[in-house]
Chain A
């Protein structure tokens, strides 16, 4: 039997501009792939893509919704970029978001008949601490027991989800709520201030923007950021330079957990206003895509979060106008990640065909 021999070689000369441009290529490929899917479903691809990507943001309300969805995505992805840059694979931001939501929500319920400017900051802070503590579990297990942080952080997502389920059905359910699985509505002073009347976009966006700026500062201008960068590029070098690797693992997980926790609080004190079973449409998982699409760069992540947020909106419009399930949004998110990874692979490696060879071992 004859077989084609293939050799995969690393490229040494990857230019930075192409590295930054491949995400855009991935987005175009996603649009193209989406067009083919729509065509196969019997729609006019251009028409359908228009419903998906343009109709949702053609009015002020749509733009506000876009920012509303981009806010948590961007915040979580920024946090994750700390982990990913230092080779720590935190896959459980969804769990940290939910746990932050639980802690923040619990505090909000505690204050449900209180008024005062101090209520909201306390809730946000407790949400951040909640997410942080929850993220420290995989970090501590990794540093002291050599567990795999991917598995631990991922499995903890389901722990957080079930805990939330239990709380909203049981002890925290609204006493006047006819046994619906939800808590009381939070008081007005426990809610994020709305920026414009009639739109849902809230003050959480400022938290995200400040975080973006701070993380840029930390990553590029501080010793901590330098250590994160070196550990990500070469653990051997970090060890040789004497960086305290274990403490750093815990720090990046704490940052990332805090960001996810705040994102969770932003959801429940923003558009939702109470705790119920589904406080996040998988923002914590989707943010992984956002982080990579944004090349782990704070500015890149802002743009990536807007694009990925659009897939959430597009899916809803497509459900209304084209009668296709809103899970199409996840198909698009999956395609973005797939095309990004594929183009990265081809960017960093070249495939050589070595010709036919007789195969007899």
Chain B
């Protein structure tokens, strides 16, 4: 069985973002291909196009030199393209066998024989009759893989498969993948982990900002060269001027903080230590899903921790909720501006009232002081150049940029000592990004501190005084931003180590 898969000049444009820009790649069976790139590089879009979930605007897909149409996931299945997504699509309460038989048109007895064959061949140890919820993440993934193997796939696409696996499970997976490859299945492996690329794959295509920037053999590559290609080299140009508050007092200290989650899709945080000085901006880089969400919630108080692990202005605040932390002059701008930082169905002034600090007098003696809130809102709208002066407007009618200005304005108008923001500029246009960046630089110059958790390295290197990287819930050592190159960041983000 010899399979050739070719994508030719694929383009996909979303409003405000070119996800795939004339992507052309060729794959042949017998090899494992890595598709490497940062968040938003366009890997996922390309994979969704190959699995029929997304239709490309332009371009074609060829399987064995024949052009194929992939209008739906069904078409992908018909063309023997199998896909294992990062998040599993399994019914937890059904048994393994029931899950596998749902979308199969074979008779149950035949299917069982077939599955038993696959289990034996690849040495998978899974009981077909236990409910899926009893399985470990690695076993669930095997069920997803078996689901693909039942159909005799020519192409198997794995999307970030190791993000929920333990080290041991990862090793097992790699052994299986190599075996599939030997059996003639073409494997496309999507990842941002550099080590995995080198240890598993034969060839690697690197994507950046929707384009394929390099295709090469992995034997010719090293972690550093791949990191460079992934992150891009020309980032080091714009930087904030060196901070004048360098030797000021410490404002925030986190020591030995651990967080363990019950949810397998959340990341546990291990032994976090960091400190922040007055007037300083600490950048935290990382590929999304490495614990940024959990870290933000721990800083904001949405996740409560042991009282002693977080000290802010010499007070232990670990047990305080977000509103109480605001009283101590902290402010927070979460990543999800649409459904967390604000409620789209609420009016602008109601969304401003969400940040209710004591001196605001928004709610006197438990009653809503609408006049006060509206005056305060009016001030935010004009001070932070939000493009409306109608405080009664529902916030769902604000553009992303204006909504973000409103949120940042709401958080900053109280002159907090520390602003924690998480991807403050995702999805915004250049004008809004510049405005937000200027605002963030401004608060540092006024002697206020900030923590910037971001997946955008440009932004981090531009705004931070010091940076570190979060990888699998652990923080790297904290470095001076001037001494950091994008290459170093890239290595740390991919799980490598420097020095």
Contact = CB atoms under 8 A, between A and B. Distances in A.
A361 B322 contact: no
A242 B367 contact: no
Interface of A: 12, 220-226, 229-230, 233-234, 236-237, 239-244, 360-361
A242 B322 contact: yes
12 contacts: A222-B367, A223-B366, A230-B346, A234-B340, A234-B343, A237-B340, A237-B354, A240-B300, A240-B302, A240-B354, A241-B355, A244-B321
B396 to A, nearest CB: 8
Contacts of A230: 343, 346, 354
Contacts of B396: 12
Interface of A is mostly: helix
A236 B367 CA distance: 23
Contacts of B326: 242
A237 B343 contact: yes
Give the most central of B301, B321, B341, B345: most A CB within 10 Å.
Answer: B321
A21 to B, nearest CB: 19
Given A233-B346, A236-B336, 9 more contacts: A222-B368, A226-B363, A226-B368, A230-B343, A236-B339, A237-B340, A239-B302, A241-B354, A360-B78
Interface string B256-278: 00000000000000000000000
B342 interface: yes
B366 A222 contact: yes
4 smallest CB-CB distances across A and B, nearest first, come from A242-B323, A242-B322, A223-B363, A242-B321
Interface of B: 74, 77-78, 103-105, 300-302, 321-326, 332, 334, 336, 339-343, 345-346, 350, 353-356, 363, 366-368, 396
Given A223-B363, A223-B366, A240 B341 contact: yes
Contacts, number: 69
Contacts of B336: 236
A361 B363 contact: no
A233 B343 contact: yes
Contacts of A244: 321
User: Of residues A223, A229, A360, which shows the largest number of chain B Cβ atoms within 10 Å of its Cβ?
Assistant: A223
A255 to B, nearest CB: 15
Contacts of A240: 300, 302, 322, 332, 334, 340-341, 354
Contacts of B74: 361
Nearest to A223: B363
B495 to A, nearest CB: 30
B368 A223 contact: yes
A303 B326 CA distance: 43
B252 to A, nearest CB: 18
A354 to B, nearest CB: 10
B477 to A, nearest CB: 30
Contacts of B341: 237, 240
B206 to A, nearest CB: 35
A19 B324 CA distance: 37
A221 B353 contact: no
A83 to B, nearest CB: 19
A241 B326 CA distance: 9
B77 A361 contact: yes
Contacts of A224: 366
Q: Which of B323, B325, B396 has the most CB of A within 10 A?
A: B323
